[in-house]
């Protein structure tokens, strides 16, 4: 029997980030040396406070409230007030099985086309496709570190005419590592308010800001129309815990009621032990600040190392300001690759994986044209526990130490450099 499926899913493919991770791991399982620049997962160990919280509450076997463990909602609200000056109350907080799922629920519930800056994270568009939404990529510019400008947003909103729209904005950004300034965010907020745009502000990397400043959040300038998402996976190095949070302002109360209803009919509630573990982390965040600051310093060093190597290879690459990604492009080699029959980012990444053993993702997976020669690089292919244990700061990281701490980043760059030299 061949069952009929929802036609909206027939053209979907597996998430590009998950697919490249599976392929890289498959090749490594075959004892092939692969430099895995394709998957963004924090390499650091789960903080002790989270592990202890999970262990101490492993016996909790009751369903928790749909919206989340009440004291966890209070702790999340307090965390965002203290760290980012947001004004969300505990009643505004929802807990879900990862921020990815919560973003999908929002996209499903809110009417209107989805505005997606390009490049942006791979899953926003497919999630909108599952809802049958129009997706409007907004091409951003390399000379602005691929950050969305107010002018670009204005043109996109105007082109769509009347009616509600949704903007999803990731800050710090995946796949570029870009971080918005307060002035940039304020300008975007004015456009969103003028066009009645509902903003989903994906702030999963909010604590990985290389300037160690309180980030510019859309909620600071457009609180009545901004939904904030976050969670444990990136800054807290607990992706496998699958716990995300969503903060919805009172002005969007109708969404809160709808979200409670849809949660009650889908996943019901997040694992109780995991919610108690998350409470331990959010409520005692002061105990984690040194850990998160040190991890951020290591992310910054790894990103800046790759950035400097890419520039020496004559790649175009904005300097990352946060998260753990870079977005270099091979535009300066376009003619070289064209003579080899390579004209798309997909074929380029396939060739680099085959010949240089470096796993990358093409710009087309991030809403750019197929011919775009940009690639996403994740800077986390190293043993985070070992680096964290012996990290003395970037100023102590000599060439020898860099090789000791980040061998796959160094060798991956060497392999990519050799690949380019051999291509000319």
Single pTM value for the model: 0.95
pLDDT in tens, 367-406: 999 999 999 999 999 999 999 999 999 999 999 999 999 9
Task: Categorize the per-residue pLDDT at 17 as very low, low, confident or very high, splitting at 50, 70 and 90.
Answer: low
Q: Output 410-416 pairs: Cβ under 8 A, ≥24 positions apart.
A: 411/35, 412/35, 412/37, 412/358, 412/381, 413/306, 413/309, 413/310, 413/313, 415/35, 415/356, 415/357, 415/358, 416/313, 416/352, 416/356, 416/358
CA distance 52 to 382: 25
Q: How many whole angstroms from its chain centre is CA 408?
A: 22
CA distance 129 to 123: 10
CA distance 420 to 375: 15
The predicted pLDDT at position 16 comes to: 65
β-pair type (197-202, 226-231): parallel
Q: What is the DSSP letter of 374?
A: B
Q: How many whole angstroms from its chain centre is CA 280?
A: 24
**Residue 244 near residue 271, CB atoms below 8 Å:** no
- Helix or strand holding residue 326 (H, E): strand 325-326
Domain 62-285: which topology? 3.40.640
Residue spans of the domains in the chain: they are 7-45+289-423, 62-285
The predicted pLDDT at position 211 comes to: 86
Task: Categorize the per-residue pLDDT at 15 as very low, low, confident or very high, splitting at 50, 70 and 90.
Answer: low
pLDDT in tens, 243-289: 999 999 999 999 999 999 999 999 999 999 999 999 999 999 999 99
pLDDT in tens, 207-220: 999 987 677 899 99
**What are the tokens at 345?**
């980012």
**241 has a pLDDT exceeding 70:** yes
**Residue 53 near residue 276, CB atoms below 8 Å:** yes
Task: Categorize the per-residue pLDDT at 117 as very low, low, confident or very high, splitting at 50, 70 and 90.
Answer: very high
Burial class, 91, CB count within 10 angstroms (exposed 0-12 / middle 13-18 / buried 19+): middle
> Other C-beta atoms within 10 Å of 289: how many?
11
The predicted pLDDT at position 55 comes to: 97
CA distance 37 to 399: 20
Q: How many whole angstroms from its chain centre is CA 283?
A: 24
Task: Tell me the three state secondary structure of residue 134.
Answer: coil
**327 has a pLDDT exceeding 90:** yes
Distance of CA 424 to CAs 55, 292, 419, 420, Å?
56, 42, 9, 7
Q: Which residue matches tokens 């390579």?
A: 342
Q: Would the CATH topology of 7-45+289-423 be identical to that of 62-285?
A: no
Strand partners, 248: none
Tell me how long the chain is.
424
pLDDT in tens, 124-167: 999 999 999 999 999 999 999 999 999 999 999 999 999 999 99
CA distance 247 to 230: 9
* Percent residues over pLDDT 70 in the chain: 98
| CATH code of the domain occupying 7-45+289-423 | 3.90.1150.10
């Amino acid at each position: 029997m061949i069952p009929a499926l929802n036609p909206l899913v027939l053209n979907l493919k597996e998430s590009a980030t998950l697919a490249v991770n599976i392929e890289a791991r498959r090749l490594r399982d075959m004892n092939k040396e692969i430099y895995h620049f394709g998957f963004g997962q924090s390499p650091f160990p789960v903080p002790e406070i989270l592990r202890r919280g999970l262990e101490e509450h492993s016996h909790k076997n009751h369903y928790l409230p749909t919206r989340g463990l009440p004291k966890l909602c209070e702790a999340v609200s307090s965390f965002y007030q203290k760290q980012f000056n947001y004004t969300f109350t505990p009643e505004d907080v929802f807990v879900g099985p990862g921020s990815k799922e919560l973003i999908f629920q929002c996209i499903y519930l809110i009417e209107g086309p989805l505005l997606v800056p390009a490049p942006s994270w791979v899953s926003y568009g497919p999630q909108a496709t599952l809802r049958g939404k129009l997706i409007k990529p907004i091409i951003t510019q390399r000379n602005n570190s691929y950050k969305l400008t107010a002018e670009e947003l204005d043109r996109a909103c105007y082109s769509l005419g009347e009616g509600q729209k949704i903007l999803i904005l990731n800050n710090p950004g995946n796949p570029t590592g870009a971080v918005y300034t307060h002035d940039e965010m304020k300008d975007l907020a004015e456009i969103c308010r003028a066009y009645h745009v509902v903003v989903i502000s994906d702030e999963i990397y909010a604590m990985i800001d290389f300037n160690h400043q309180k980030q510019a959040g859309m909620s600071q300038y457009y609180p009545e129309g901004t939904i904030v998402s976050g969670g444990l996976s990136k800054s807290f190095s607990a992706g496998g815990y699958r716990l995300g949070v969503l903060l919805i302002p009172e002005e969007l109360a109708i969404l809160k009621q709808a979200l409670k209803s849809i949660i009650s009919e889908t996943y019901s509630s997040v694992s109780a032990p995991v919610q108690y573990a998350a409470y331990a982390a959010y409520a005692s965040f002061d105990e984690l600040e040194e850990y998160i600051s040190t991890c951020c310093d290591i992310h910054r060093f790894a990103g800046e190392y790759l950035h400097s190597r890419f520039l020496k290879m004559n790649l175009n690459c904005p300097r990352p300001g946060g998260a753990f990604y870079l977005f270099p492009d091979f535009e300066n080699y376009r003619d070289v690759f064209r003579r080899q029959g390579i004209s798309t980012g997909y074929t380029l990444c396939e060739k680099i994986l085959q010949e240089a053993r470096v796993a990358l993702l093409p710009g087309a997976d991030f809403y750019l044209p197929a011919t775009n020669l940009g690639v996403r690089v994740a800077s986390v292919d190293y043993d985070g526990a070992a680096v964290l244990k012996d990290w003395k700061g970037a100023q102590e990281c000599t060439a020898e130490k860099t090789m000791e701490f980040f061998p796959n980043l160094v060798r991956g760059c060497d392999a990519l450099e050799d690949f380019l030299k051999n291509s000319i």
